[in-house]
A and B are shown apart, each in its own frame.
Chain A
């Protein structure tokens, strides 16, 4: 795999994401918006009804994350903010990409066929940040611009972060229909017979 490193600033163009390949490393500067389980549910209800979200995500970065935050005076500070498991958002994500125009999704653990198809069709990529690395991620978040949907609770609200070189993020679903997670699963599945044999199973 020929790895290239790109530094991207929001808003990100379709051209910027179309040139990315599996295994490429990117760093994001600008704005990242968190949304996980309940926020995806609510976003879909609003978007399907023709409404708009409190944050414009065109050319934007969606982060599957529920941060640890602390309020100091009137200001929110991010204490830890690593990615959450992305596959839970799979039932919503293809339509989310279509309706919001988001260009980069950041999460962990990979996503499925619907998201992969939507990335190809609408020009987006899925990237992973190392799971569990909450302290490292918080380092790259310079400022909390605002928070929306706070009634969903701290982990599930929409947090609007200003970030500086957030990464390294590895591209694992590109904008051309390739999915690195599927390749690893297929390889593990291929090795299954051999693993069974090691354990005396048939």
Chain B
């Protein structure tokens, strides 16, 4: 197999992510539409479902904010290719920007100039992981800035523990209101340190919405937070209703005895992600989307 397979797969994943929502997200939006009691909220969800349908049918980006591009890459220790992967992901990003097309969203903040192709210093951003195995897993995760702007991280005091976390989550959601395009998915992570909490909160957004948290205490916390968030009445697009969030996902790391970092990652309803597994023989299996 050649590096070309990785580039081609990355391009396909960017296109799939931008144009077709994963089935678990579509299902959650449908359920929200069916059970929304506010008339205005329901009208917003109806537009959302119609937009998702049109984008998929015509292979258009679901949202004009095709986001900042990041990839999560897991490489098996026995996977045959390890050289030139980052460069292949950059080439795929440039090609997707031109051909899907994606909106150029990389602005160099020193020159205050749009680079025009979604690449530049640290962009696309890649999260690397090595595991024992012979295949490679690639996830494309383009995330819009409307919801990214509403994410928050706090170094809370360990005196308050889970109560402090719960209050921080609710206050963050209330401050965000309709701005992050609800119904949102809320990723919460606590423990570790500044970077660890943020990394885990973001990564937990990659979990399919129909997959329960394997840690029973966290599954319970997720349900409790979801119910509370949806009691705020912010609703779809902040126009009122019972669906402010579709799901809450929680993860954690062990914490320092003196620290309690909490990160809240907010994902808009257009929760775009696409994953594939590239086998050692060069064959590709798409994990989130039907291809072929």
Report A's interface with B, CB cutoff 8 A. 23, 65-70, 79-82, 84-85, 87, 108-110, 128, 130-139, 152-156, 168, 170, 172, 180-181, 184-185, 187-189, 191-192, 194-196, 198-201
Contacts and interface: CB of A to CB of B under 8 A. Distances in A.
A85 B64 contact: no
B25 to A, nearest CB: 12
A109 B177 contact: yes
B269 A154 contact: no
Given A110-B179, A196-B170, 13 more contacts: A79-B61, A85-B146, A85-B179, A108-B178, A109-B237, A131-B268, A132-B144, A135-B58, A188-B232, A192-B174, A198-B227, A199-B225, A200-B163
B146 A131 contact: yes
Contacts of A194: 231
Given A153-B104, A188-B177, A195-B228, A133 B146 contact: no
A198 B268 contact: no
Q: Which 7 A-B pairs have the closest CB atoms?
A: A153-B114, A134-B64, A131-B181, A133-B51, A135-B55, A80-B64, A130-B47
A181 B235 CA distance: 11
A180 B178 CA distance: 11
Contact of B170 (A67, A109, A192): A192
A186 B130 CA distance: 48
A70 B101 contact: yes
B277 interface: no
A134 B166 contact: no
A167 to B, nearest CB: 10
Nearest to A198: B228
B77 to A, nearest CB: 39
B239 interface: yes
Contacts of A87: 179
A185 B177 contact: yes
Contacts of A110: 177-179, 238
A194 B58 CA distance: 45
Contacts of B284: none
Residue of A65, A132, A134 most packed against chain B (CB within 10 A):
A132
